[in-house]
Amino acid sequence: MTALPRLHLFELADQPWFPRTLADAGTAYLATLQEKAGLGAVVAPLVERGLALSGATRIVDLCSGGGGPLLAAREHLAAPVPVVLTDLQPNVWADRTGPGITVHPEPVDATAVPAELAGLRTVFNALHHFRPEGARAVLRDAQEAGQPILVVELSERGLLPLTVGTLFIPLVVLFVMPLVRPVRPLWLVLTWLLPVLPLTIAWDGWVSHWRTYGPEDLDALVAPLAREGWVWEHGRDPAGPGHVTWLLGRPEVTPRSSGA
Ligand SMILES: C[S@@+](CC[C@H](N)C(=O)[O-])C[C@H]1O[C@@H](n2cnc3c(N)ncnc32)[C@H](O)[C@@H]1O
């Protein structure tokens, strides 16, 4: 599946000149799509396992965007776990309220997470935003802080996602954008009257597939981070018509408590 080379093409949402409202529309769409597609149930066992193996009592979600699949996943966990949502550029529009959910008000760089944000770090659909050195810095920061980290990617560097999968994105955006809450009339105009969002989201989706780290890339990322007392493991599980690729890093010995 990862025979294609990894290409770090540019994503519009990463560009400083790209309007913030379009970037926020993209992550709000992504969160809604994942919720409606039932991805919460798919990633919940990974989160559950990360919590159980690390002993963490809180989830610190990095690169949260519109909340990703985490809020839906939370409903499938055996016990309620507090969640802190963080991002370098927090999405101010997405609806991410609920009991036990905190939106961190300050920007948080996933490569330098403040010490007070202890807990299981989760990174959904975002490791591919970093070039290899940056991606390794995200992993190293967690390791040096002694905090477990779970990375999950739903995009894939495969022919099917890069062709048929991408062609469907504009159509999916047309139907998912009206489901985003709260409703933003501008986003609906930029979807149905002037189809800017279907095109920008499709481009970023296509580029995301090219940038995704497959299992071999993950091996290369963590190889220099191998150290005694720390476990890196990864896998690729079926999820609907595609796969979910995950990486879990954690201290070998379950700590008494890791989190608030
Ligand atoms: C594709 S979105 C993923 C959003 C969400 N996790 C999901 O699954 O829908 C990538 C997110 O990474 C964030 N991001 C990019 N670089 C970052 C960094 N250095 N530190 C923290 N967040 C970053 C962006 O602001 C964006 O919200």
Kindly report, residue by residue over 28-58, the tens digit of the pLDDT.
999 999 999 999 999 999 999 999 999 999 9
Instruction: Identify the CA nearest to 134 among candidates 86, 200, 88, 85.
Output: 88
Tell me the two tokens of residue 154.
Answer: 């739903």
Q: What does the pLDDT read at residue 97?
A: 80
Q: What does the pLDDT read at residue 254?
A: 57
The CB of 65 under 6 Å from ligand 1? The reply is yes
Instruction: Identify the CA nearest to 50 among candidates 36, 70, 25, 26.
Output: 70
The CB of 200 under 6 Å from ligand 1? The reply is no
Domain ranges for the chain, please list them. 12-166+204-251
With beta carbons less than 8 A apart as the criterion, state whether 96 and 67 touch.
Answer: yes
Q: What does the pLDDT read at residue 91?
A: 86
Strand order in the sheet with 59-62: 101-103, 83-85, 59-62, 120-124, 149-153, 242-251, 230-239
Q: What distance in angstroms lies between residue 125's CA and the mean position of ligand 1's atoms?
A: 8
Confidence label for 20 from pLDDT (cuts 50, 70 and 90): very high
Buried b (16+ CB within 10 A) or exposed e, 44-72: bebbbebbebbbbbbbbbbbbbbbbbbbb
Mean pLDDT of the chain: 94
- Secondary structure element (H or E) that encloses residue 73, with its range: helix 70-74
The CB of 234 under 6 Å from ligand 1? The reply is no
Q: What distance in angstroms lies between residue 228's CA and the mean position of ligand 1's atoms?
A: 30
The CB of 110 under 6 Å from ligand 1? The reply is yes
Q: Whose CA is nearest to atom 9 of ligand 1?
A: 68
Q: What does the pLDDT read at residue 230?
A: 98
Residue among 87, 93, 106, 244 to mutate when testing ligand 1 (max atoms within 8 A of CB): 87
The pLDDT tens digits of the residues spanning 156-203 come to 999 999 998 899 999 999 999 999 999 999 999 999 999 999 999 999
Residue among 88, 140, 173 to mutate when testing ligand 1 (max atoms within 8 A of CB): 88
- C-alpha 245/C-alpha 61 separation (Å) is 17
Q: What distance in angstroms lies between residue 87's CA and the mean position of ligand 1's atoms?
A: 6
- C-alpha 145/C-alpha 118 separation (Å) is 9
- Return the percentage of the chain with pLDDT > 70, whole number: 96
Q: Which CATH number fits domain 12-166+204-251: 2.170.190.11, 3.65.10.10, 3.40.50.11540, 3.40.50.150?
A: 3.40.50.150
The CB of 87 under 6 Å from ligand 1? The reply is yes
Work out which ligand 1 atom sits closest to the CA atom of 70. 8
Q: Whose CA is nearest to atom 10 of ligand 1?
A: 126
- Over residues 78-91, mean pLDDT: 94
Give the 3-state secondary structure of residue 251: strand
Give the ranges where 85-244 is alpha helix by DSSP (H). 132-145, 159-160, 166-176, 185-188, 196-211, 215-222
The CB of 30 under 6 Å from ligand 1? The reply is yes
- Over residues 114-125, mean pLDDT: 98
With beta carbons less than 8 A apart as the criterion, state whether 53 and 148 touch.
Answer: yes
- C-alpha 96/C-alpha 101 separation (Å) is 8
- Return the percentage of the chain with pLDDT > 90, whole number: 89
- Amino acid identity at 81: V
The CB of 86 under 6 Å from ligand 1? The reply is no
